[in-house]
Amino acid sequence: MPTIHRALVTGGAGFIGSHVADALIAAGFAVDVVDDLSRGRRDQVPAGAAFHQLDIRSPEAAALVRDGGYDVVCHLAAQIDVRVSVADPVADASRNILGTLNLLEGARAAARPPRVVFSSTGGAIYGDLAVPPSREEEAKDPESPYGIAKLSVEYYLAYYARQHGLETVALRYSNVYGPRQDPHGEAGVVAIFCGRLLDARALTVFGDGTQTRDYVYVGDVAAANVCAARAALPAAGRVDARAFNVGTGVGTSVLALAATLQQVAGTALPVEHLPPRTGEQARSFIANDKGARVLGWRPAYSLADGLATTYAWFRSQHRG
């Protein structure tokens, strides 16, 4: 693949997407951003990026991918709320499946098709069948329409790679945290905890707090996108051939997360336990050796360093 110069980031005004746009610019890419601003914020788009306010399902978005002369499309725009997907699977599929297909059709029609790097999920995609650390080739049984949609797109990516020769990559993120994460709505626990600490409120934990998750810093996720944009890819094949977990490979309990965050924040607030949530996985973390081997990516941030940077950002934004 020739040296990559131009990149398009969909969802680039959002939490993870804005960090990906920052990382690509820092790596020397000319970056365009697409976002409909339904969740993203215009002020999070990097100053050096060209901004296009578009819905990814629109003909204009497909035309931009087709005619923009991009070398890579990092596709992060999505309906991200699992609860919304359960309440309205059609709306979830419209954005997460049909929106992605619209962009893939634009890429297929380009004179020089771009590589497509898709943001998938490393938690919701495996379900309860896999014994952690989950590996890319293991059986998948998503428990939500959101996870089903992400897996469906991965099958489409494999199809477009085999049938149309597109260079496609699926990055399966674990639990991403970091600056710019929205502490409201379907937020990650780190953002919620930071907000409660800054308001001097007790941390709330569902169940006994021993359930584990793989917490990966958003800067490491952005770096994985840069690696995926540049790396030599394995031959197209079955759905897992070009799929890579993006996580730390370490399961951290919610109680350990709360303790580490309180340590870096210098607080000692109580932890309150609420009834467990029905259907919540007890253990979830993902292996990352394939990404290290093929993409040359490894997480650089320890949990303590990532939490310290994240808490400092939330403190700088706090208006309480």
- Report the C-alpha gap between 94 and 96 in whole angstroms: 6
Q: Which residues pair with 172 in a beta bridge?
A: 120, 245
Closest CA to 194 of 138, 262, 296: 262
Residue 9 three-state SS: strand
Backbone angles phi, psi at 286, to 5 degrees: -125, 145
- Report the C-alpha gap between 220 and 212 in whole angstroms: 20
User: Is there a catalytic annotation at residue 70?
Assistant: no
Is residue 73 within a helix (H) or strand (E), and if so which, with residue range?
strand 72-75
Decide: residue 112, CB within 10 A, 0-12 exposed, 13-18 middle, 19+ buried. exposed
Counting Cα atoms < 13 Å in the Cβ hemisphere of 146 gives 18
The torsion region of residue 43 among left (phi > 0), alpha (psi -120 to 50) and beta comes to: alpha
Residue 274 three-state SS: strand
User: Of 146, 215, 217, 311, which one is the catalytic site residue?
Assistant: 146
Q: Which residues pair with 253 in a beta bridge?
A: 212
Token representation of residue 298: 């490894």
- Report the C-alpha gap between 116 and 220 in whole angstroms: 19
Q: Which residues are the active-site residues?
A: 146
